[in-house]
Amino acid sequence: MADFRVLITDRASAQLHEIVEWIEQRAPETAQRWFKKTLTEITSLSIMPRRHSLARESIQLKMELREILVGKRKWRVLYTIRDQDVIVMCIRIGALGPVTAEDLSGD
């Protein structure tokens, strides 16, 4: 079984850093743990990325959109798979509601 290449869009990378800053303001000791756990989850997508469930928006957006839930607040790491690439498209808290095509577009 071949490994997948994991890519993070500019948007998802910016979201990741914004979330860490937000957590740091509330619980500094938690921020780095959350960051490390999230990066570990993301890098683990290089092997068997389809092991995570389809996101609820997958049908509406007409794409294979999968998600990883991270932490107690259920942060969503949303990604798609294209050939041998896993592309992390969006990172956000589940309480924000469904993602839209605009949430996933652009770098």
Does CATH number 3.30.450.20 belong to domain 5-94? no
Give the percent of the chain with pLDDT over 90. 78
What are the residues whose beta carbons fall under 8 Å from the beta carbon of 100, sequence distance 6 or more? Answer: 57, 61
The two beta strands, 65-70 and 5-8, are: unpaired
Residue 106 has pLDDT above 70, yes or no: no
Res 39 pLDDT > 80: yes
Summary mean pLDDT of the chain: 92
Question: What global pTM score does this model have?
Answer: 0.91
For residue range 53-90, what is the model confidence (pLDDT) as tens digits? 999 999 999 999 999 999 877 899 999 999 999 999 99
